[in-house]
């Protein structure tokens, strides 16, 4: 039985012929256009070819001519099966290379016997003079058709070569047959170097390493469409991010002809998106920390107001009680508990940048040596602590107590992350923040970098993201205020703090502290503010003290404390009433003024009473520190500041100092 190739674009004719031939035991292979038919003829080597003439693209006569010129196929009989029955149609088929001619519609009874005759060697022929005539006519038509096909091929090639997208064409085996100049630029090919015949898509090691080989194979096997994005190392350009798009080109019968690979370098686009995402996350983190700080500061402020009553009341009772009294010990417990609660609010206020603040110039290297020596006594002896301190660093302006708290906290956290033997390294360096490198909240200019690195267990990204949040802890014990407090301390000092960590690789905490040049004026200004509220131990001058606070418990305790110190006291709960008292009581010499009040706030009240009596001495009092609103009023001429919760000695001493000034002291 014979293997017969049927080239036909009409599905009904294909079905009819297949049934007729298979019924007689023949094998049928089908193609839907001339190009596909030629390829099947080359690969399948049929015993006979049935050729429709009116085919899309390359017509049947042109396909016949090309098959007959193919090595090994010249002897294969080709029978034209066509509806072309106009005069000369048969002759044109024969001069094109057909060995037989069967008009449509076919005679189902005679069709198979006729084909078997062609298989046995029967051939249709033309007289010599007719052959010469039709051959000349067909040659002219063929030349024009081939020219049109060549133009179409060149047109498609021009589209590919002039495309603004990097394009590479492969054959059915994945071997490059064409690529454009954009492809040369994307992959930085040397001038004159070609990938044609040298590059095979399946063998690209970077695609294979990235795990996209199966997607590539699906394009060739299943006519799929693959899209993926990989990091691609390119000679002379480094690592780039390349987006691949791979799709098949099929003929009308669905046979694969070529595969198109397009590349887009999206490196800059991806980096821009990543940078935008980084900035968005940074902004979100800053806003989140600011919101948490506002909440923490508000809670601490309210606690401090309440603690004025607890601490002040306990101290007043203790002052007048015999230490042998059985209630004396209970009052001491109340006082000490209030002091511990005050420490807790200090941590919250440190995070919210609202704690007490006494800046001075600190030689950072010597300070670190002292702190590390202290820390060594608290940690496992198996932990080795090394120092790498750059000499000649400028001093930093800092509150020594808060700086000590910051370094101890970081070093002890590092020690607690180490199980058994390990190492902690503390470094200092002088560096410069340029406009291109400093981050949100940092100052441009020189800074002293303090870096603490450990070989501990490290942190996951989720934990790392939250380490500066209040009350977040992974220890199971503690309040989770350590790192949140030092975050606030850093911000309060106009410094910054960063953390890097990976599980199993340890942690690195870096403080960037503005060098003295960047902090000098700011530190001196804060120093003056603190100096304004220092206590002088002189005799008690006489005069009326006005307490202005919207918290009743604060007014009552402050009044009792000052009465115990020998002062006459008046108290009001808002700024409007304070103004009335000042107008009607010339004996008022000192005003203790709260900042946060419900109606007229501290600033407005200060301006109003200074307008009435410019010489009046004003002591500001708040649960917050002396930055923000307090610092603003201090700059307007306030005489001092005392932070809540204050004890008996602090309040009486501050008032004594200002009352002395009001009575002409120095």
Query: What does residue 475 show for φ and ψ, rounded to 5 degrees?
Result: -85, -25
**pLDDT the model gives residue 115:** 94
Rounded to 10 degrees, the C-alpha dihedral 537/543/549/550 comes to: 150
Q: How far apart are CA 169 and CA 463, in angstroms?
A: 49
Q: How far apart are CA 161 and CA 154, in angstroms?
A: 10
Query: What does residue 266 show for φ and ψ, rounded to 5 degrees?
Result: -105, 20
- Ranges of beta strands (E only) in 226-358 are 226-234, 238-250, 256-265
pTM for the full predicted model = 0.41
What H or E segment, with its residue span, contains residue 433? strand 422-433
Q: How far apart are CA 592 and CA 623, in angstroms?
A: 13
User: 3-class SS at 571?
Assistant: strand
The CA-atom distances, in angstroms, between 347 and each of 341, 497, 498, 530, 583 are: 10, 17, 19, 20, 41
Inter-residue long-range contacts of 83-92, CB under 8 Å, 24+ positions, other chains counted: 83/54, 84/53, 84/54, 88/134, 89/53, 90/124, 91/126, 91/130, 91/131, 91/134, 92/61, 92/134, 92/137, 92/138
User: 3-class SS at 103?
Assistant: strand
Give mean pLDDT in consecutive 10-residue pieces for the chain, a chain of 666 residues. 92 93 93 85 92 86 89 92 87 90 92 93 82 73 66 71 89 89 93 88 92 92 90 93 93 81 92 84 66 64 75 81 84 81 63 56 89 83 92 85 82 89 93 57 73 92 80 54 69 83 92 65 45 44 86 87 88 92 92 87 92 92 70 84 82 88 70
Q: Encoding tokens for residue 452?
A: 């603490």
Q: How far apart are CA 555 and CA 547, in angstroms?
A: 6
| Closest among 367, 387, 371, 390 to 379, alpha carbons compared | 371
Q: How far apart are CA 593 and CA 547, in angstroms?
A: 6
Yes or no: say if 348 and 481 are a contact pair by the CB < 8 Å rule.
yes
Work out the angle at residue 188's Cα, subtended by the Cα atoms of residues 183 and 194, and round it to the nearest 5 degrees. Answer: 60
Q: Encoding tokens for residue 35?
A: 């190009």
User: 3-class SS at 628?
Assistant: coil
Close Cβ partners of 330 (under 8 Å, ≥ 6 residues apart)? none
Q: How far apart are CA 107 and CA 409, in angstroms?
A: 100
Residue 586 CA, distance from chain mean position = 63
**pLDDT the model gives residue 632:** 82
Close Cβ partners of 328 (under 8 Å, ≥ 6 residues apart)? 318, 321, 322
User: 3-class SS at 663?
Assistant: coil
**pLDDT the model gives residue 103:** 92
Q: How far apart are CA 374 and CA 232, in angstroms?
A: 52
| Closest among 403, 295, 405, 271 to 354, alpha carbons compared | 295
**pLDDT the model gives residue 522:** 42
DSSP string, 149-213: HHHHHHHHHHHHHT-SSEEEEE-TTSBEEEE-HHHHHHTTPPTT---TTT-BGGG-HHHHHTT-H
Q: How far apart are CA 458 and CA 178, in angstroms?
A: 52
Q: Encoding tokens for residue 366?
A: 């010597």
DSSP string, 504-565: TS-EEEEEEEEPHHHHHHHHHHHHHHHHTT----------EEEEE-S-HHHHHHHHHHHHHT
| Closest among 17, 8, 111, 5 to 60, alpha carbons compared | 8
Yes or no: say if 150 and 140 are a contact pair by the CB < 8 Å rule.
no
| Closest among 246, 254, 250 to 230, alpha carbons compared | 246
The position carrying tokens 């094109």 is 96
Q: How far apart are CA 519 and CA 522, in angstroms?
A: 5
**pLDDT the model gives residue 438:** 46
Query: What does residue 593 show for φ and ψ, rounded to 5 degrees?
Result: -115, 120
Query: What does residue 514 show for φ and ψ, rounded to 5 degrees?
Result: -55, 135
Yes or no: say if 46 and 35 are a contact pair by the CB < 8 Å rule.
no
User: 3-class SS at 484?
Assistant: helix
Query: What does residue 589 show for φ and ψ, rounded to 5 degrees?
Result: -110, -30
């Amino acid at each position: 039985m014979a293997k017969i190739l049927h080239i036909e674009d009409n599905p009904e004719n294909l079905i009819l012929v297949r049934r007729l031939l298979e019924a007689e035991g023949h094998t049928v292979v089908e193609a839907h256009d001339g190009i596909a038919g030629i390829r099947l003829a080359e690969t399948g080597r049929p015993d006979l070819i049935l050729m429709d003439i009116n085919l899309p693209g390359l017509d049947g006569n042109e396909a016949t001519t090309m098959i007959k010129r193919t090595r090994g196929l010249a002897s294969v009989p080709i029978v034209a099966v066509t509806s072309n029955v106009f005069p000369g149609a048969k002759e044109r088929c024969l001069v094109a290379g057909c060995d037989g001619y069967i008009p449509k519609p076919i005679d189902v009874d005679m069709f198979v016997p006729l084909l078997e005759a062609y298989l046995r060697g029967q051939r249709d022929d033309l007289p010599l003079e007719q052959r010469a005539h039709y051959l000349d006519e067909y040659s002219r038509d063929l030349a024009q058709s081939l020219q049109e096909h060549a133009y179409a091929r060149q047109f498609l090639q021009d589209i590919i070569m002039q495309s603004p997208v990097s394009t590479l064409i492969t054959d059915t085996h994945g071997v490059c047959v064409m690529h454009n100049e954009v492809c040369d630029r994307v992959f930085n090919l040397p001038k004159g170097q070609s990938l044609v015949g040298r590059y095979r898509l399946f063998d690209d090691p970077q695609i294979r390493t990235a795990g996209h080989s199966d997607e590539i194979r699906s394009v060739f096997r299943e006519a799929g469409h693959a899209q993926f994005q990989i990091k691609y190392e390119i000679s002379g350009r480094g690592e780039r991010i390349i987006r691949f798009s791979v799709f098949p080109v099929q003929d009308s019968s669905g046979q694969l002809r070529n595969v198109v690979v397009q590349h887009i370098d999206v490196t800059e686009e991806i980096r821009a998106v990543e940078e935008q995402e980084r900035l968005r996350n940074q902004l979100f983190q800053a806003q989140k920390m600011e919101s948490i700080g506002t909440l923490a500061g508000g809670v601490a402020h309210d606690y401090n107001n309440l603690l004025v009553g607890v601490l002040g009341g306990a101290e007043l009772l203790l002052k007048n009680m015999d230490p042998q009294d059985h209630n004396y010990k209970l009052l001491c417990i109340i006082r000490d508990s209030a002091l511990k609660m005050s420490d807790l609010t200090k941590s919250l206020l440190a995070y919210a940048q609202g704690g007490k603040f006494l800046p001075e110039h600190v030689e950072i290297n010597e300070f670190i040596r002292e702190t590390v020596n202290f820390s060594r006594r608290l940690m496992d002896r198996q932990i080795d602590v090394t120092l790498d301190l750059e000499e000649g660093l400028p001093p930093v302006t800092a509150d020594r107590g808060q700086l000590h708290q910051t370094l101890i906290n970081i070093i002890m956290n590092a020690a607690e992350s180490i199980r058994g033997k390990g190492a902690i390294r503390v470094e200092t360096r002088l560096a410069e923040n340029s406009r291109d490198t400093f981050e949100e909240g940092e100052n441009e200019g020189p800074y002293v970098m303090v870096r603490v690195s450990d070989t501990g267990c490290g942190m996951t990204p989720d934990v790392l993201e939250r380490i500066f949040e209040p009350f977040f802890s992974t220890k199971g014990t503690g309040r989770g205020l350590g790192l949140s407090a030092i975050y606030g301390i850093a911000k309060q000092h106009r410094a910054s703090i960063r953390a890097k960590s990976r599980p199993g690789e340890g942690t690195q905490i870096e403080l960037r502290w503005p060098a003295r040049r960047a902090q000098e004026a700011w530190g001196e200004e804060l120093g003056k503010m603190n100096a304004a509220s220092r206590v002088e131990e002189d005799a008690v001058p006489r005069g009326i003290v006005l307490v202005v606070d919207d918290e009743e418990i604060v007014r009552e305790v402050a009044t009792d404390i000052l009465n115990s110190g020998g002062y006459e006291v008046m108290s009001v709960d808002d700024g409007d009433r304070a103004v009335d008292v000042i107008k009607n009581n010339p004996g008022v010499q000192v005003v203790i003024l709260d900042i946060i009040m419900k109606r007229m706030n501290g600033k407005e009240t200060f301006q109003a009473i200074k307008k009435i009596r410019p010489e009046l001495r004003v002591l500001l009092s708040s649960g917050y520190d002396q930055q923000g609103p307090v610092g603003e009023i201090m700059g307007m001429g306030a005489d001092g500041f005392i932070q809540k919760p204050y004890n008996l000695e602090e309040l009486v001493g501050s008032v004594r100092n200002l009352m002395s000034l009001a009575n002409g002291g120095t």
